[in-house]
Structures are given as structure tokens and as C-alpha cells.
A and B are shown apart, each in its own frame.
Chain A
Amino acid sequence: MGAEFVQFSLTPILIGVFAAIACALPGNFLVLRRQALIGDAISHVVLPGIVVAFLITGTVAAIPMLLGAAGAAIVAVIMIEAIKRLGRIEPGAAMGVTFTTLFAAGVLLLDQSDTSNVHLDVEHALMGNLESLIWFRAEGWHSLFDPAALAALPDELARIFVVCLLVIALTVIFWRPLKISTFDEGFAQALGLPVGAIGFGLVVTAAIAAVAAFDAVGSIIVIAMFICPPAAARLMTNSLERQVFWSVAFAIVSAVLGYVFAGYGPLWFGGQNAVSAAGMIAAVSGIILGLACLYGPHRSRVGAGRQESAA
């Protein structure tokens, strides 16, 4: 745990942890509202968003990309709603139509535009480049107190940190309305809460988290973190407060263990190269979810026997 760790592993682990928390928090509500796949749809439409941003600005600067991706996510949400209402199509199919179409458009735009001289391709969009977000200027733990070295931290770290704080703040501020409208929409309406706006705000928050995380770690982690830690946490407790804490804990464990296994795991088995950290983080979160499904104290449905035939 010396200088090398600080230089090569500290920032990717921190970025992974912040990204995981930022996604897991809104994921709790998405899972409870049965909108888990909104996260999946959003992370697919991020690709056309960043390609369009690239075509307009001609650079791979972060801010236009984030704006483009956020714009695409909002367009996708509106498209899903429009198809659902205008075409009277069930939500799953409307989602499937929307994100495959937008993703296909993104791939086409990418192939049509000349992106050979910049690092912008589908694989990068899917897998991210967590491993490459290293802290060149770090010379050891003491660099944490060295302003010159801190200034050389990867930009992604600051961005995902800010977004993570924003998501935490939003979750705390809107806790009560979110909780009430998630569990009992009719009651929330009767209280005069703007249920539609809360739902839309939740999706927009998820989109912001997805876009910021995507920038650093790729879309696989985003989908996995939206769903796996909250789903596993759901099987651990009946209280929403505890569920949120469980999900954050699971997200952190997935990010840290996933990065460590990806970076050092192959060495233990005599391999030489590291494997994809993003993929490994997703896999670890899946293992946690699997364990929760098998042993979680609140894993079974209330009245499962009676609902069996309906399911």
C-alpha cells in the first residue's frame, strides 16, 4: 500500500466508489417503482448523446459530452412516454423500441463521422476506462496534502464527486415526498404532492448520475449499480432507510472488490494482465445480489404461496 497504490489504484477506486453510490441511491427508488430498466434505457441512449455533442463541438471535451448525454436521456424519457400514450403500447415494449432505435442511430453517427483521431468508440462507451484514470503526480500518501499534486488529479474524480454529493443531497432533501410517492402514489396525491414531477425528477437525477458515471466508468457499471445493490439491499430489510444504507454499502464493496479483483486477481492465478475493472465490478455486484437472493433475511414475497399462480 505504498506510493504505487496511491498513484495507480487510489483514484480509480475512489471514482468507482463515487459512481457506484451516485447510481445506487436513485436505483433504490427505481427498483421499488418497478422502473429498474429506465436505467438500462438511459445508459444505452447516452451513446448517441455524446456522439451528437462531439459532432456539434468537434472536441471530446467533458462538459458538452455531459450535456449531450443528458439531453439524449431526456429525449429518450419523453419518447418512451409519447410512444406509451400515443400508441397505447405497454411500457416495456415502448422502452425497447426507444433505446434500440437511439442506440442504432448513435452507432450509425459514430461510423459516419470521422472519429478515428479521437478516443470515441462503442467499446469505450460500454467498458469505460477506469484503469487509465491514474494520478500521475502522486508520489505517496503525502501527496494528498500537496496542492500541486492534487491539482493533477483526473478531472473525472472531481466531477463524479460533485455529482455524488448532489445525488446524496437530493435524496436527503426530497426523502419524504420520494418515499411517500414511491409506496403509495394515491396517498401522495391526496396530500397534494406533485407525483408526476417527483417521478420525472427521479428519472432526471438517475440520468445525471448515469451520465456522470458513464463518463468515468462506462455503461455496464451504470446499469449494474442502478439495479444490483438496491435489489440486494431490498432483500436484506423491510425498512427503506436501512435499505438505502445497505445499498450504499453493497455499492462500495462492489466497487472496491471489483477493482481489486480485476487488477490483482489475474496475478494470483499466474496471469499477467489485468482484466476489465468495469466488468469485474458488475460481476461482483451480481455475486452480492446472488448471495442476497439465496440468504437475504427478507428475500421472499409476503404471501408468496397465494401469488404464485398470478406471477
Chain B
Amino acid sequence: MNPFVDALLLQAGYNAALVAIGAGLLGFAGGAVGTFLFLRKRALVSDALAHATLPGIGLAFIVMVLLGGDGRNLLGLLAGSAISAFIGLWLVQWMTRATRLSEDAAIGAVLSVFFGLGIVILTIIQTMSSGRQAGLESFLLGSTAGMLFNDALIIAIGGSLAVLATWLLRRPMTLVAFDPEYAAASGTNVNRIDIAMMGLVMAVTVIGLKLVGLILIIALLIIPPVTARFWTERSGRVFWSAGLFGGVSGYVGAAISASAPALPTGSIIVLVAATLFVFSLLFAPVRGVAAAVINHRRFQWRVHRRQGLLAMARAEPIHEPFTLRVLRAEGLIRKDGVPTDAGRAQAAKIARDERRWDVARQIHLDAGLTGRYDGLTPIEQVFTPDEIAEFDTRIGGPSPVQPQGAA
């Protein structure tokens, strides 16, 4: 069978199946947690966090070797990376608060300095006798070759816990993301929620290090939420669909990378996520580019239709080619530009509604209602039939539109 289908169905061997499941869970956790990071407009903090893990990995290796243990123990390395990521995060917060540097400068400074420090520590490890085969470089880009059941278990348990915690905290985190001042005023501890959110981001970063590496893990936190945002305007749905997009990216990406040699897992996962992103950017129904173009055309159509009908009602000639096309396409004028019966009826209605609006503005000084006048909203949607009848008694009866109207 096709090796890709095999991998997709978890038939490509024990290790590949472990990687695919782990990557799927990791992707789900990344998307779900990243949603709040994105909504809080702090997506790139994860960049600093991820790069800040490197010195921790190196120091944890050195400490474990000095204590006489195996330096490659994954839990130990992850603990070290979490500690240094926390220090990096704290430094970003401190620099933004205590000095006049903006957050992006703090992020850039922390990520480059910690990464540089990490590289220094890695070169120290290379000179240690036990460090030659440490393979810590694999944390830069991730490696799935030697993934063990225990490693997969760490990813699975850690990822599930992160998703669960995110789900439990989704209400306060949404509140803080959209309106931190209201959240503070209504008794939510904004600082604590921010710390919890960053803690979750840190958890996902750390458990993803082994699989996709510290440079690409931030893609799993950023790309799925941005993708999901195109599909819905509701934060709850962004949460679930970001998780779904991330999970699919992780699972499919791992399957693709297992199906042929020289396909690095982390990169493939990111590229699958990027493909979903580009597709959503173009074609998502809510905020996609295609949807925006269609909406714009529809709006243009309605404006031209109304302008044409108003001109018809006032017996003015119409020259604008697009307006003529709209009226012709809707059967409101004949090919030679003479209004049809349907066209005259519509024109009369629009002219009458226009008069009704005039009266409405005289009666209702309430801008909340008359302010909704944009020329396109039918008056029936704004006022009740009683009120419209009231306007009509002031206007008098409808007047017919003369057939010799347009052009």
C-alpha cells in the first residue's frame, strides 16, 4: 500500500504510530493554548520562550552528568528547559515593566541572548567526555528518529493536561484577552491569569521540544489560531478549531514525514499548518479574502441597484455602465434602457421608502433608529408596520412612476 496511507492509518510501524499520535496531541494542545496568546496579541512572546529553553537544556545535561546520571533523560532536560524558559519570560516581563523598552525589544533581546548562551553551553558540552554523543542539537529542530514510548507518553499526558487546563481557564482568559481593564474591574486577577496563560504556553513549548524543536514549536502556537480566526468570529469556536487545525497538522505532518526519507517531521508539520493557513486566508467564509471580495461585490451591486432605481423614479437618465448592467441583469430595465413594469414598481417602492425616511427623521429625533439609515436597509427592518403606516398618512398615497423614465 501507499506508505503515506499506511502512516495515516498508523500501520507504518510502532515508532511512526507513536510519533503521529504524539504530534497530533501536541498540535491540538499548541493550537488551543496558542489561541489565547494570539487573542492577547502576544504571539511572539512564545518566540522568546522557545529560544530561552536552550541554556536550560544544556545546563540540565551538565548537572545530570555531574550527578553521575544519564544526561539524556528527557524529563530532566525538559525540567531544565522549563526553568530557563521561565527565567526568560520573567526577564521579558521585567524589562517591559521596569524600563522604557517596548515588549518587542525585550522579546528580541531575551531570545537572542538566551539562545547565544545556549550555544555557548552546547559547545562546552561538546568538549566534555560524555558530551560527544549528547545529541542535544536535536532539540534545535526536533528529532523523531529515536522516540521512545516514554517520550510519547510525556507528550501525550502533558498535551492533554495543557488542553484540559486551557479549557478550564477559557472564560477568564477570554475576558482578559478582550478587555483586561473590565476583567480587572470585575474582580479577575489579570496578572494571575496572564501567568497561567504563559505557564500553559511554556508547558506546550517544553513538551514539543523533542518532536519539532525549539525553533519551530512556536509555529504550532501561532499558525493554528491565526488559521482558525478566519473561520469564525467567536472565541469559543476559535479555541476548538485552532486545536483541530493544530491536531490535523501534527498528525498529517507526522504521517507524511514517516512515508519517505529526508522529510524532517517538525518542518513538515509546520508546512502542513501553513498550507491550512493559506487555504483559510483565501477561502474561509467568514474572514477569508475570497469572502471579502464577494461581500464587496455584493455591496457594490446593491448600491448601484438602488442608485439606478432612484434615478428611474426621478425620471433621470442613467449613464453609469455598471448600474445599467445591474438593472438589466435583474430585469428592471429592457435592453434599450426603458424600465420594465417590475422596474417601475421597485423604483416606486424605493422612492416611497425614501420619503418615509424623510418623515421618520422629522418624527424621530432618536438617532439610534434613524441613524441606521444607510440607503440599503429596508425601512421595514427598522420601524414597525404601525410606525410606517403613520409615516404614510403624512406622505399621502403612492404616486406612479412615469414609463418614459430612464435613458
Q: Which residues of A contact B (CB under 8 A)?
A: 31, 34-37, 39-40, 44, 83, 86-90, 92-97, 100-101, 103-105, 107-108, 111-112, 122-123, 126-127, 220-221, 223-224, 226-228, 231, 234-235, 262, 266, 271-276, 278-283, 285-286, 289, 293, 296, 298-302, 304, 308-309, 311
Query: Chain B residues near A308 (CB, 8 Å)?
Result: 97
Q: Which of B43, B100, B113, B263 contacts A282 (CB 8 A)?
A: B113
B119 within 8 A of A: yes
How far apart are the CA atoms of A278 and B38 in the complex, in Å?
Answer: 32
Shortest CB-to-CB span from A200 to chain B, Å, is 19
B314 within 8 A of A: no
Q: Are B99 and A275 in contact (CB under 8 A)?
A: no
Q: Are B140 and A224 in contact (CB under 8 A)?
A: no
Q: Are A103 and B99 in contact (CB under 8 A)?
A: no
CB contact under 8 A between A279 and B47, given known A87-B230, A235-B101: no
Closest B residue to A301 by beta carbon equals B100
Q: Are B120 and A83 in contact (CB under 8 A)?
A: no
Q: Are A101 and B116 in contact (CB under 8 A)?
A: no
Q: Are A127 and B99 in contact (CB under 8 A)?
A: no
B115 within 8 A of A: yes
Q: Are B113 and A92 in contact (CB under 8 A)?
A: no
Query: Chain A residues near B116 (CB, 8 Å)?
Result: 220-221, 224, 276, 278-283, 286
CB contact under 8 A between A103 and B104, given known A271-B127, A276-B122, A285-B113: no
B268 within 8 A of A: yes
Shortest CB-to-CB span from A128 to chain B, Å, is 10
Query: Binding site of B, secondary structure by majority: helix, strand, loop or mixed?
Result: helix
B166 within 8 A of A: no
Query: Binding site of A, secondary structure by majority: helix, strand, loop or mixed?
Result: helix
Residue of B41, B181, B219, B268 contacting most chain A CB atoms (<10 Å): B219
Interface size on B, residues (CB 8 A): 64
Closest B residue to A272 by beta carbon equals B127
Q: Are A96 and B47 in contact (CB under 8 A)?
A: yes
Query: Chain B residues near A87 (CB, 8 Å)?
Result: 226, 230, 281, 287, 289
Shortest CB-to-CB span from B257 to chain A, Å, is 9
Additional A-B contacts beyond A36-B102, A275-B124 (12; CB < 8 A): A36-B107, A93-B44, A100-B222, A103-B216, A105-B271, A220-B116, A224-B116, A231-B109, A279-B123, A283-B116, A300-B98, A309-B181
Query: Chain A residues near B63 (CB, 8 Å)?
Result: none
Q: Are A93 and B112 in contact (CB under 8 A)?
A: no
Residue of A93, A122, A299 contacting most chain B CB atoms (<10 Å): A93
Q: Which of A108, A224, A278, A311 contacts B263 (CB 8 A)?
A: A108
Q: Are B100 and A86 in contact (CB under 8 A)?
A: no
Q: Which of A220, A227, A262, A278 contacts B109 (CB 8 A)?
A: A227
Query: Chain B residues near A97 (CB, 8 Å)?
Result: 219, 222-223, 226, 274, 277
Q: Are B117 and A104 in contact (CB under 8 A)?
A: no
Q: Are B120 and A279 in contact (CB under 8 A)?
A: yes
Q: Are B101 and A286 in contact (CB under 8 A)?
A: no
Query: Chain B residues near A123 (CB, 8 Å)?
Result: 137, 140
B141 within 8 A of A: yes
Q: Are B271 and A108 in contact (CB under 8 A)?
A: yes
Closest B residue to A88 by beta carbon equals B287
Interface residues of B in 23-52 (CB under 8 A from A): 38, 41-44, 46-47
CB contact under 8 A between A95 and B99, given known A100-B216, A103-B215: no
Interface residues of B in 212-241 (CB under 8 A from A): 215-216, 218-219, 222-223, 225-226, 229-230
Query: Chain A residues near B120 (CB, 8 Å)?
Result: 262, 275-276, 279-280, 283
Residue of B94, B105, B107 contacting most chain A CB atoms (<10 Å): B105
Closest B residue to A224 by beta carbon equals B112
Query: Chain A residues near B104 (CB, 8 Å)?
Result: 34-37, 92
9 interchain pairs (CB within 8 A)? A31-B102, A90-B41, A96-B218, A127-B119, A286-B112, A286-B116, A293-B99, A300-B98, A304-B100
Q: Are B43 and A93 in contact (CB under 8 A)?
A: yes
How far apart are the CA atoms of A234 and B44 in the complex, in Å?
Answer: 22
CB contact under 8 A between A104 and B274, given known A35-B104, A95-B44: yes
How far apart are the CA atoms of A273 and B129 in the complex, in Å?
Answer: 12
Closest A residue to B184 by beta carbon equals A309
B262 within 8 A of A: yes
Q: Which of B95, B114, B264 contacts A111 (CB 8 A)?
A: B264
Query: Chain A residues near B42 (CB, 8 Å)?
Result: 92
Query: Chain A residues near B209 (CB, 8 Å)?
Result: none
Q: Are A92 and B44 in contact (CB under 8 A)?
A: yes
How far apart are the CA atoms of A107 and B213 in the complex, in Å?
Answer: 12
Query: Chain A residues near B109 (CB, 8 Å)?
Result: 224, 227-228, 231, 286, 289
How far apart are the CA atoms of A39 and B124 in the complex, in Å?
Answer: 28
Query: Chain A residues near B122 (CB, 8 Å)?
Result: 276
Shortest CB-to-CB span from A20 to chain B, Å, is 12
How far apart are the CA atoms of A111 and B145 in the complex, in Å?
Answer: 14
Query: Chain A residues near B259 (CB, 8 Å)?
Result: none
Q: Are A40 and B108 in contact (CB under 8 A)?
A: yes
How far apart are the CA atoms of A97 and B78 in the complex, in Å?
Answer: 25
Q: Which of B99, B108, B137, B226 contacts A36 (CB 8 A)?
A: B108
Query: Chain A residues near B112 (CB, 8 Å)?
Result: 40, 220, 223-224, 227-228, 282, 285-286
How far apart are the CA atoms of A282 and B113 in the complex, in Å?
Answer: 5
Closest A residue to B274 by beta carbon equals A101
Binary contact readout B276-306 vs A (1 if CB under 8 angstroms, 0 otherwise): 0100010000010100000000000000000
Closest A residue to B41 by beta carbon equals A90
CB contact under 8 A between A283 and B226, given known A123-B137, A276-B119, A309-B181: no
Query: Chain B residues near A285 (CB, 8 Å)?
Result: 112-113
How far apart are the CA atoms of A289 and B181 in the complex, in Å?
Answer: 32
Shortest CB-to-CB span from A72 to chain B, Å, is 15
Q: Are A89 and B226 in contact (CB under 8 A)?
A: yes
B188 within 8 A of A: no
Closest B residue to A93 by beta carbon equals B43
B204 within 8 A of A: no
Q: Which 8 A-B pairs have the closest CB atoms?
A: A282-B116, A286-B113, A279-B119, A100-B219, A104-B270, A224-B112, A96-B222, A227-B108
B96 within 8 A of A: yes
B111 within 8 A of A: yes
